[in-house]
Amino acid sequence: MGENKPDNAQKGQKELKHIDFSSPLAHLADVSKRLYTSCMNLIDVASTPQLNVAIISYYFKKPCLSGVGIHAQNLAKFLVKNNCKVHVFCSGEEDGIYKEDGIIVHTIGKILIPIADKYAQKRLEADIFESEVVKEVVRENAKQKFDIVHTHGGITKAAFILKKVYDTKWIHTFHAIEKLRVKEMSKVDKQFKDLITWVESTVNYCDGAIFVSKQLMKDAENVYRIKSKTVIPNGVDLSLFEVTPITKKNVLFIGRFSKEKGIDLIPEVILDVMTINDSSVTIVCPSKALQNDLVPIQTHLHNLEKQFPGRVKIIEQTQTQEELRELYKECQVYIQPSKYESFGLCIVEAMATSRPVVAFKVGGIPEVIGDAGIMVKTPKELITSVKELLKSREKCASLGKKAAERAKMFDWDVIAKKTIDYYKEVRK
């Protein structure tokens, strides 16, 4: 698709170069005609999409807490901004197609099965979703062939089939290595280890792989045999997350209600922060049908919220990006106690808002924070660092300034262009 664009552009520019604008009036009509032709060629180039891209991600619809979903939202938005035609295939409440910000969104309705094991239900829904996506993508591909099918997370079946049947170029973005991440999951999650890793193994057949951090690509070296691969980090929308002054002595955490994200450490953090005058803690941790080993943690958090009214706030509803932006503005320190983290989207969003971050030194976090935050190895170090920052707004402001400057490295305008360049490289 769009293979004639360079020729059209060169033709239009050539026409303009050879027009003699000083020619006699008798030749004015010819000059006008040639000028019109050259301009139309250039307009045609500008209006022709660079690429026709299919993005497949189970999570996409707003609001979305999933880092993969937010990544897919921003990728689609900035691909369109860079003159790509984008179809997104995602999960929704019902089947449908709609257009938003130039993105054509195809939703696959959920099929809820009343079974006791909610995680098993989630895995089954994902499998049904992929089967439906195959049909939807094939229909659209028949209308206009996709230049690239780009998958995210463990949703790879549709792209695998399209590649085998239609020879469509397939790129997969690794947001985690499931074989490694599963080690930090709950007992219920670990029961699906074989299924998770089997599904993910299909990516060995992709034409290209994107890893969101150098560490993640290194972790994958002994797990996958992928020919073409590159590192393109996650991005942040700098038009949304802006530098703002600190006004409240608040500690913020955003993440899934999961031990992998360090939710089991939050009660201890809260108790220590409460020893500092005028301090508060805000926890954004959407939770639905929690597994048994997480219920006591949730109960403990609710009790702490009652014990410290007005100072501890637990938000269990998924927040929009705009709502999260306001929460970043209201904090003085952002914490990320994840035990496994391939990148850390919330980290870079907090940094863009000029907030100091305290996080465990794991996965891709060092590549994100650099020297613009504090990385720790133990829960004790985490708590000590948080308390020290809460006692010094000046230190927070200084570290926050460095964080905001570093966040510019992850501007989505830059990330989208790198992604498009890789699309074109894979298509050759």
What DSSP assignment string belongs to 149-198? Answer: EEEETT--HHHHHHHHHH---EEEEES--HHHHGGGS-HHHHTTHHHHHH
In order of 181, 251, 334, the CA distances from 316 in angstroms are: 24, 17, 18
pLDDT computed for residue 118 by the predictor: 62
In a domain, 245, yes or no: no
**CA triplet 168, 422, 65: central angle to 5 degrees?**
85
- pLDDT averaged per 10 residues in sequence order, the chain, 428 residues: 48 53 53 56 56 95 87 96 96 92 93 57 77 90 93 86 89 82 52 56 90 93 90 96 96 93 96 97 85 88 97 94 96 96 95 98 95 96 97 96 97 97 95
Strands, DSSP E only, in 262-371? Answer: 280-284, 312-315, 333-336, 357-360
* One domain, residues 40 and 59: no
**What CATH code is carried by the domain that includes residue 327?**
3.40.50.2000
- Looking at the 3D structure of the chain, how many domains does it have? 3
Q: Is the dihedral of CA 92, 412, 157, 339 positive or negative?
A: negative
pLDDT computed for residue 4 by the predictor: 43
In a domain, 244, yes or no: no
pLDDT computed for residue 35 by the predictor: 60
In a domain, 19, yes or no: yes
CA end-to-end distance (rounded Å), the chain:
12
* One domain, residues 118 and 160: yes
Structure tokens belonging to residue 311: 């100072």
Q: Which residue has the tokens 């994107």?
A: 210
* One domain, residues 166 and 267: no
pLDDT computed for residue 289 by the predictor: 63
Nearest to 235 by CA among 51, 417, 52: 417
* One domain, residues 406 and 418: no
**8-state DSSP, 352:** H
Residues 6+ apart with CB under 8 A from 169: 147, 148, 149, 163, 207, 208, 423, 426, 427
* One domain, residues 362 and 322: yes
* One domain, residues 294 and 400: yes
* One domain, residues 95 and 128: yes
Q: Name residue 304's amino acid.
A: L
Torsion of CA 152, 158, 160, 165, to 10 degrees: -150
Phi first, then psi: give them for residue 300, nearest 5 degrees.
-60, -45
pLDDT computed for residue 27 by the predictor: 53
* One domain, residues 38 and 56: no
In a domain, 240, yes or no: no
* One domain, residues 256 and 365: yes
In a domain, 241, yes or no: no
Structure tokens belonging to residue 361: 């030194």
Give the Cβ contact number of residue 142 at 10 Å: 9
Q: Name residue 326's amino acid.
A: E
pLDDT computed for residue 269 by the predictor: 97
* One domain, residues 20 and 91: no
What span, in angstroms and rounded, lies between the C-alpha atoms of 293 and 209?
Answer: 35
Residue range(s) defining the domain that contains residue 338: 250-410
pLDDT computed for residue 50 by the predictor: 85
* One domain, residues 302 and 369: yes
Phi first, then psi: give them for residue 374, nearest 5 degrees.
-120, 125
In a domain, 161, yes or no: yes
* One domain, residues 84 and 227: yes
pLDDT computed for residue 247 by the predictor: 94
Q: Can you give the pTM of this predicted structure?
A: 0.82
What span, in angstroms and rounded, lies between the C-alpha atoms of 387 and 389?
Answer: 5
